[in-house]
Structure 1
Amino acid sequence: MFLSIVATVYSLSLLLFPVHGNTCSGDSNCEDIVTMPLLDGLRATLKADLDVKNMNDHLKTYISLEIKKGFENAMNDVMKQIVNKGIDEINTTIIAAIQENLAGIWKGVTYIRWGRKGCPAGADMIYTGQVGGNAYSHKGGGVNYLCLPNDPEIGQHQPYDNDQVYGGEYELGSSRKPSGWSESMHNKEVPCSVCYKQRHSAVLIIPGRKTCYKGWNSEYHGYLMSDHYGHYKKDYACVDINAEPLDNKNGDENGALFYPIRTNCGSLRCPPYTNEADVLCVVCTK
């Protein structure tokens, strides 16, 4: 910018002062004689006594000021670009960080931990309660187990007959209990808890394993359980390896029952499976 200004000023100086000569004789304060065309197409010239040195000084000052002004304007433009770019980059970084943190806060998964009153380390407990479900002898109705909260909000009493919410009990006689479990839990009610894991987007229950696959985080592992095959169908549930009873009550009241289950080879390929073995399970998040 300022270079173009210098070139323009220099060109003007050449146009204004194309021919000049010195007419003084020994006088240091004399003026130069400048000859300029008077009119185009005429052979006449205009001669004037001008102080060229003084005009050159003014011209140099003018050029210097224009150069300075052009340099300052150019630097201001550059600094403005640098500052604007820096602000844009900072804003982009801040927005990305906020979005990432908000995504981490909002994103999460829930799962039920069957057989325990609390959640694993690193997970928030939404509520704790007891297992409920349809009675083992009912042919119709719901087949899934329910995790009923310990602080229910009760509906109105109704006279119709369609009872489907019963308590859940462990059925762990001496001849059927998973390895490491105590027979003292037989006929005890089953607790549960609903857990929330932040910064995760998927939950996966894997039957037949006690560890998660690479890239997945294990919430808990245990035994796959359901109702007895001679009863009406129930869903499968992954009951914690360290299952506990809801309380010390032992009434054999039945309801939604939990039996340990085992494998049966044939259509189930053995290996890799083994006949008549406990079925393990693991709850994984990612």
Structure 2
Amino acid sequence: MRDNRQAEPAGKARPVISISDLRKKFGGLEVLKGISLAADQGEVITILGSSGSGKSTMLRCVNMLEVPTSGTIAIDGEVIEMRSTRQGIQPASRKQVDRIRSKAAMVFQSFNLWSHMTVLENVIEAPVHVQKRPRQECIAEAEMLLAKVGLSAKKESYPRHLSGGQQQRAAIARALAQKPSVLLFDEPTSALDPELVGEVLKVMRELADEGRTMLIVTHEIAFAREVSNRIVFLDGGRIEASGTPAELFAEGTNERFSRFVSRNN
């Protein structure tokens, strides 16, 4: 089982991911209301909260699937540059966005595999065509990653021939193939039948034990308590509580968090 103590800072090393005063509006609705969060190397942070609290929006802003209204985001010390346009705030450089997405690889709740490609082709697509790495090198690494997630026998299969759990494990292998600095998981088990959830959580536990830096939006409270160095509880677009699992689950620590846990257990 993972040691749930908060990761110790390594000297003056900068965080792998740093979010400062992040805000996001959809029309007149402010979904994120000044989120600040940093993750150190090897830290696993799970984000909990009710539907509509801003969890997924925050994660999607990190790799520019949603463009923040304001605030700053940095991956490995590289701040994502923004500029004002007639359409509003936009990323200043498409090349930088592609680079950031490779550094902050995302695993979606709905898998998002390319249906016309085999599992192997899905895994090598970004390394070959975005990162411009040698194809044979990418294939060799992809085969190792598929073995890691238990899908060696499915490398020539198409997504439609896989179970939901297998598709999500393929999506994790695809994210790992980019050699990211941080893995972003957006409700990775919410689209799965209950009997398939465990196989995906097992792979995620193994990644946590390897010391991967991970931000995980999840509704799996027991899993969050087990694997996290830190849990962040969002409520109404703000961080309502943050701490180690031991701190947050201590009786009387935060009334709103306690109510959330009791409703979702």
> Could you state the TM-score of these two structures normalised by the residue count of structure 1?
0.21
Rg bigger for which structure?
A: 1
Higher relative contact order (CA 8 A, sep 6+): 2
Instruction: Say which structure is richer in helix.
Output: 2
> Could you state the TM-score of these two structures normalised by the residue count of structure 2?
0.22
